[in-house]
Amino acid sequence: MTAIAPLHFADPREAAGLAAFLRRLLHYDRAAAVRLQAGGGALAVFGRPPSFEVLAIRTARLVDPVDLDVTVSAGELLEGVEESAGKAVVPGSVTGPPWAGVLPPRGGWEPVAGLPSADGIRGAVAAAVTEFRARDEALPEERRTRAERDRIGREIWSRTLADTGLPLRAAHAAQSLGFLPRLPAEELPVALFASGPWLRLRTPYGSIALRTSPMSLSVAPGTAR
């Protein structure tokens, strides 16, 4: 196998941002894999935290143009990130999970109106978490099962955010993965886009994408930036 040259980030802080993203993914799945795609001077890292059933995307600018498309272990990639040096050593490829073959499209994204501000999104997530805890605590002992808790969770997190069609679980994923830090509104613009069956919530810190119809593994791999 041909060794992949280390990736050098245009801003060393992007190495720290990538490392933080990988740590959060590994929190939800210790065996997580990520797909890396790079073209020109941009890198996109795709992951799928299983609790949320969405794709998480972290992008970074590179010093040198790179042509790369590989799926690797998130843990091994994290070990190869040198934050102080602003670079990352790419580990050997692994057999990708099914989701890695069905990525969002490269283009065709159109704005979707009606998305609340970052504060509004965080508020909706907080209200959903509060509701889940209250309903969980109200369950009688004989119904306090994993199946019942999963049913309540699916009901709450499948609700849409305002009138956008974006499930609350996508907003929850964005917050949990560090894409919605508590910053003044003018420093944290958020936007929602649609392309075919895909929706994408974008912030300066990363994106959350998901299909509004079931995935088909026959779809050709794509990329998102």
Q: Give the helix/strand (H/E) hosting 74.
A: helix 74-79
Question: Domain ranges in the chain?
Answer: 7-101, 110-194
For residue 103, what pLDDT is reported? Answer: 94
Cα distances from 198 to residues 5, 57, 90, in angstroms, run: 33, 14, 29
| pLDDT per residue rounded down to tens, the chain (225 residues) | 556 889 999 999 999 999 999 999 999 999 999 999 998 899 999 999 998 999 999 999 999 999 999 999 999 999 999 999 999 999 999 998 999 999 999 889 999 999 999 999 999 999 999 999 999 999 998 898 999 999 999 999 999 998 899 999 999 999 999 999 988 877 899 999 999 999 999 999 999 999 987 654 433 344 444
- What integer pLDDT is reported at residue 214 of this predicted model? 61
One-letter amino acid for residue 105 of the chain: P
pLDDT of residue 222: 45
Specify the DSSP class assigned to residue 196: T
> CATH number of the domain at 7-101, please?
3.10.150
- Residue closest to 124 by CA, chosen among 54, 174, 191: 174
Structure confidence at residue 187 (pLDDT): 82
pLDDT of residue 218: 39
Determine the pLDDT at residue 2: 58
Question: What pTM does this model have?
Answer: 0.89
Tokens of 154: 């699916």
Angle between helices 118-137 and 146-157 (to 10 degrees): 150
Query: What one-character DSSP code corresponds to residue 215?
Result: -
189: how many CB neighbours lie within 10 A of its CB?
11
